[in-house]
Structure 1
Amino acid sequence: MAAKYIKPTESELEILNILWHKDVATVREVHEELAKSKDVGYTTTLKLMQIMHEKGLVKRDESMRTHVYQPAVNREKTQKHLLNKMIDSLFGGSSTQLVLQALGSGEQKVSAEELDKIQTLIDNLKKQ
């Protein structure tokens, strides 16, 4: 039987992004990164990371006085799962609608380099 997927909350995703970037970090290091973009208390960060450990989203090394955390979930698998859920719930299962909305809204600027990458991906998919 496949393992049950645990959907991270928005706050948990913020912490996971920091851990995916750093590989390992203490609560203090994660808190300092979070504090750069939002008003959050240290104890809130600590409690969230403890909950994430209980849920299996992060691993904790307790061998030292200061606990060190690392992600227990894969970034790509998490992104894929959340994207698939968003496509299903917001775009009626249509990847085309997602892409049209993302590229055609005009709110997000798409660079020439990004367009080249998208074109290469499209060309490769057509060859398959």
Structure 2
Amino acid sequence: MSKIVSKITDSEVEVMRVLWEAGCELPLADIRRTLEEKSKWETSTIKTLLRRLCEKGVVLATKRDVFYYKPLVSESEYNEYTTQNLIDRLYAGSAKNLIASLLGSKKLDNTDIEELRALFKVGERDE
């Protein structure tokens, strides 16, 4: 699965987000309508992106009156893979180094830090 997810382009992720947010199969017209609000893509571009996602095996197209599309990869699976890939590439696999970088660059405010502390405490109880 990770090889497939790694080949999803940024533009294709925008299409995937529409499918993930819907939570159900969508016809092209609905996908197009949503993407036209967010981007200036032509219908042909959207069809090309959907075709590529189907070829990669991350979206399934089902023909009825019209084609309906549904994601075969969940948003959480995609996010988990891309987060791990980021940590591996930039921080040599160390999530601790990622957090240290965020703290050092002041990207986290006090509220964020307190929320992370609470998450760490919950994790300690689960062990």
What interval of TM-score do these two structures reach, taking the shorter chain for normalisation?
A: 0.7 to 0.9
Cα distance change, pair 118–49 in 1 and its aligned pair in 2 (3 A): same
CA–CA distance in structure 2, aligned partners of residues 60 and 19 of structure 1:
12
Q: How far apart, in 2, do the equivalents of 1:102 and 1:28 lie?
A: 41
Correspondence 1:83 to 2:83:
yes
Larger RCO, structures 1/2 (Cα 8 Å, 6+ apart): 2
Give the distance between the partners of 2:29 and 2:16, measured in 1 at CA: 14
Find runs of 4+ consecutive structure 1 residues off by over 4 angstroms: 108-111
Aligned pairs for 1:1-128 within 5 A: 5-6=3-4, 7=6, 8-23=8-23, 24-64=25-65, 66-106=66-106, 108=107, 110=109, 112=111, 114-127=112-125, 128=127
Is this contact kept in 1: 2:15–2:31, CA < 8 A?
yes
Cα deviation, 1:71-106, whole Å, max 9, x if unaligned, reads 011221211111111101012211122223335434
Deviation at 1:116, TM superposition (A): 4.1
Between structures 1 and 2, the one with greater helix share: 2
Tell me the number of residue pairs that the alignment of Structure 1 and Structure 2 aligns.
Answer: 123
Structure 1 residues 21-45: Cα deviation after superposition (integer angstroms, max 9, x where no partner): 1022222222222222322111100
C-alpha offsets along residues 33-73 of structure 1, whole Å, 9 cap, x if unaligned?
A: 22223221111001110111111111112022x21101011
Name stretches of at least 5 consecutive residues in structure 1 with no aligned partner. Answer: none
% identical equivalent positions: 22
Normalised to the residue count of structure 2, the TM-score between the two structures is 0.81
In the superposition, the TM-score normalised over structure 1's length comes to 0.80
Q: Structure 2: which 5+ runs fail to align?
A: none
User: 1:103/1:34 Cα in 2 relative to 1: closer, same or farther (>3 Å)?
Assistant: farther
Contact 1:28 1:42 in 2 (8 A): no
CA-based RMSD of the aligned residues comes to 2.2
